[in-house]
Structure 1
Amino acid sequence: MGFTEAIIRSYERQVDRARVEDLERRCEVGPAEHMFLFTDTMGDPICRIRNSPMYNMLVAELDNELVGVIQGSIKMVTVHKPQKEQAKVGYVLGLRVSPLHRRKGIGSSLVCELEKWFTTNDVDYSYMATDKHNEASVKLFVNKLGYNQFRTPAILVNAVHKNRSSHISSNVEISKLKVEEAECLYRKYMGSMEFFPHDIDQILRNKLSLGTWVAYPRGETWSTEGQVPKSWAMLSVWNSGELFKLRLGKAPLSCILYTKSSRLIERYFPCFKLVPSIPNFFEPFGFYFMYGVHHEGPLSGKLVRTLCHFVHNMAATETKDCKVIVTEVGDHDVLRHHIPHWKLLSCPEDLWCIKALKNQEKNSLYELTNTPPTTKALFVDPREV
């Protein structure tokens, strides 16, 4: 007997909000055999795309039951084919299908309907990101829907320790930039990087963007209008915790025991400070996302690390429930050696997949996906985290 076809339609807040939140709670993020995350959207299921220039959310209904959702956003970015060009891209995220209704073609139907919306809005490429080891997602997008594996960046996660500060070198000067200064630097130094957003000014002016900071050797002169130091680094910070919270839903017993024991040791034996305790990830928590990380010069690795320490101290003192700091770096980006992170929490390889939605773009897609990754970073849009 065949399956009844699900009805795909646009999300309606008054009708669907509670049902979407219930579905989100029943769907894990990440491979089931490993630890996974639950997402709390705090009453706004569309929060992860609301700050994008264009966005849409679709739901799937089966016999009056909401059984699936998907979200998408559209923007202009830089792509290499291999020359630098602007292209309109659609980002696919938040695909969820009820555990009791999987393998019925609902996920495929949701993606196809979202691609139709992309096409209607003249999108050149559709792309998505997933855990490289998420076999179900890879099979759906790559094997069934014709997406091409594009890049394998790394997600780096560092824990925030509320009771201790990271050391800031006295030999480094840290300054906060005005939005106009930050925009100028990003367009000059990162404007040619893959997936650099055309509306970087809107990202920097968003209330969730806490600011942009530069670090350079103390005693050097910094001027965005003139000469910059030989070595310098910059990054911006996005407060994702204002949009949604995360909670660890499953973890190996060893991880749970280590978390609890390390917290007890730090509480009752403060003299043992060599190994910091792991924050409690089994309760809802927020996080900072560092984006637009860029560095120049022979000392820039140290400067990036100093900026990361600065962000850690800011998270530890200014935001109550921020428990981790996250960033994403490119395939062969040397930054991964300078950004503090915990291997226990980090994902060594994310997977980006891309698909041409226009016939004239299909030849360019071959060039795009077969161009070797550079040592420069991908620009990861914080609105898509």
Structure 2
Amino acid sequence: MGYGELIIRSYDAQNDRGRVEDFERRCEVGPAKRVFLFTDTLGDPMCRIRNSPIYKMLVAELDSQLVGVIQGSIKLVTVHKPPNDLAKVGYILGLRVAPLYRRRRIGLSLVIKLEEWFIANDVDYGYMATEKDNEASVKLFVDKLGYAKFQTPTILVNPVGHRRFRISPNVELAKLKIEEAESIYRKFMSSAQFFPIDIGNILRNKLSLGTWAAYPRGESWGEVPSSWAMLSVWNSGELFKLRLGNAPFSCLMYTKGSRFIQKLLPCFKLPGIPDFFHPFGFYFIYGVYGKGPLSGKLVRTLCRFVHNMASSKSKDCKVIVTEVGGSDTSRLHIPHWKLLSCPEDLWCIKALKNEERENLHELTKTPPSRALFVDPRDV
């Protein structure tokens, strides 16, 4: 059976919006044999990249049929390499190929075309994130496209319940002004891998709900407390919704049963799984940082505060998500469920300029000694 010419072009909102939305609804996120997530982009297929400084979406057509999509964004970040610590990076996300058209090099062609756009925009490195056990994705990017395994961050997911967490009376919480938060991030996290130079734009974005600091009660924030911690919150649910698919019947029954028991016997305070089978939103915690002997406990207190905020102020926020570097000790203090979390996400990177290829070995082989900043616009 013959096929026509594969056409890859820029996304046209006027003509492609409905087709891409329908295409996304038919494509799951995650391996088909496991539990996966459906994404509802709320009428904007480019919602996940629209807040980035520079972005682009490509679509692939074969015989006038939409068979694939891919998205990319560009920004300036901290990347530890000589002679300076800055690099222009292009992030690849949202690669989808229609099930009936897979294994025909369509995904490969989409990535190559997006890389050409990166190169035209003077990008130093392209990078992407995938599940460590996603064999198809790893084979495409590492084996066929020459990407190198770079980082294995930890994704921590905690369900939002109706029961509020108790906040220790020994901890003082303060919401920071945007200018103050930006100044602190630049002072303490500007050396973190992939720290975005336009951090101020992120903090000022309407999706950023704010930045909070925690420190021991009785001490003064203005005089640098003996221990302190901070984090910021991004409302991803305003961009798109998620829905669980391919879940086993036992999971569905446990969800419904636990919610029934909670209502019937609230005094027992049994943990229940939120309803993930209908579209839901989530908060993303970013910029987690702390100093001092009590910083871990203060991070945990801040995470509990965010949970309480989500529980009381959001109707559809079902989970709180955080992603930190694999060697970041703060992950030990962030509340999460192992069932929902991913201990090793996989970031892969590729040098797009000849002069950067010599630095790639140092980037990928040197054990990460500094924090990793996960940009909420990349979620």
Q: Distance in 2 between matches of 1:345 and 1:167?
A: 23
Per mean C-alpha deviation after superposition, the further-off stretch among 358-367 and 248-257 is 248-257
Residue in structure 1 matching 2:337, options 336, 342, 356: 342
Q: Distance in 1 between matches of 2:368 and 2:26?
A: 37
What pairs with 1:260-339 in structure 2 (closer than 5 Å)? 260-273=256-269, 275-339=270-334
Partner of 1:100: 100
Structure 1 pair 272/83, CA: closer, same or farther in 2 (3 Å)? farther
Partner of 2:190: 191
Q: Does 1:181 align with 2:180?
A: yes
Contact 2:3–2:63 at 8 Å: present in 1 too? no
Partner of 1:168: 167
What pairs with 1:106-125 in structure 2 (closer than 5 Å)? 106-125=106-125
Q: Does 1:382 align with 2:376?
A: yes
Q: CA deviation at 1:84?
A: 5.6
TM-score, with length taken from structure 2: 0.98
Residue 271 of structure 1 aligns to a residue whose secondary structure is helix
Q: CA deviation at 1:377?
A: 2.7
Listed one character per residue, the Cα deviations across residues 153-199 of structure 1 (whole Å, up to 9, x for unaligned) are 111000001x2101100000000000000000000000000000000
Which residue identity lines up with residue 236 of structure 1 in the other structure? S
Q: Distance in 2 between matches of 1:83 and 1:348?
A: 33
* Structure 1 residues without counterparts, runs of 5 or longer: none
Which residue identity lines up with residue 339 of structure 2 in the other structure? L
Q: Distance in 1 between matches of 2:84 and 2:227?
A: 26
Q: Distance in 1 between matches of 2:208 and 2:170?
A: 27
Which residue identity lines up with residue 251 of structure 2 in the other structure? C
Q: Distance in 2 between matches of 1:248 and 1:313?
A: 23
Partner of 2:44: 44
Per mean C-alpha deviation after superposition, the further-off stretch among 104-113 and 76-85 is 76-85
Q: Does 1:238 align with 2:234?
A: yes
Partner of 2:220: 221
TM-score, with length taken from structure 1: 0.97
Q: CA deviation at 1:30?
A: 1.0
Listed one character per residue, the Cα deviations across residues 32-54 of structure 1 (whole Å, up to 9, x for unaligned) are 22110000000000000000000
Q: CA deviation at 1:348?
A: 1.3
Partner of 1:63: 63
- Percent identity of the aligned residues? 73
Partner of 1:368: 363
Q: Does 1:254 align with 2:259?
A: no
Partner of 1:13: 13
Measured on the aligned residues, the alpha-carbon RMSD in Å equals: 1.1
Which residue identity lines up with residue 204 of structure 2 in the other structure? R
Per mean C-alpha deviation after superposition, the further-off stretch among 17-26 and 352-361 is 17-26
Q: How many residue pairs end up in the alignment?
A: 379
Poorly superposed stretches of 4+, deviation over 6 Å: none
Which residue identity lines up with residue 379 of structure 1 in the other structure? F
* Structure 2 residues without counterparts, runs of 5 or longer: none
Contact 1:78–1:84 at 8 Å: present in 2 too? no
Structure 1 pair 3/104, CA: closer, same or farther in 2 (3 Å)? farther
Residue 192 of structure 1 aligns to a residue whose secondary structure is coil
Listed one character per residue, the Cα deviations across residues 331-378 of structure 1 (whole Å, up to 9, x for unaligned) are 11111110000011111110000000000000001111111022x431
Structure 1 pair 282/111, CA: closer, same or farther in 2 (3 Å)? same
Contact 1:125–1:355 at 8 Å: present in 2 too? yes
Contact 2:229–2:290 at 8 Å: present in 1 too? yes
Which residue identity lines up with residue 256 of structure 1 in the other structure? L
Q: Distance in 1 between matches of 2:21 and 2:6?
A: 19
Per mean C-alpha deviation after superposition, the further-off stretch among 27-36 and 37-46 is 27-36
Residue 266 of structure 2 aligns to a residue whose secondary structure is coil
Q: Distance in 2 between matches of 1:340 and 1:27?
A: 31
Which residue identity lines up with residue 107 of structure 1 in the other structure? G
Q: CA deviation at 1:82?
A: 6.4
Residue 85 of structure 2 aligns to a residue whose secondary structure is strand
Q: CA deviation at 1:5?
A: 3.6
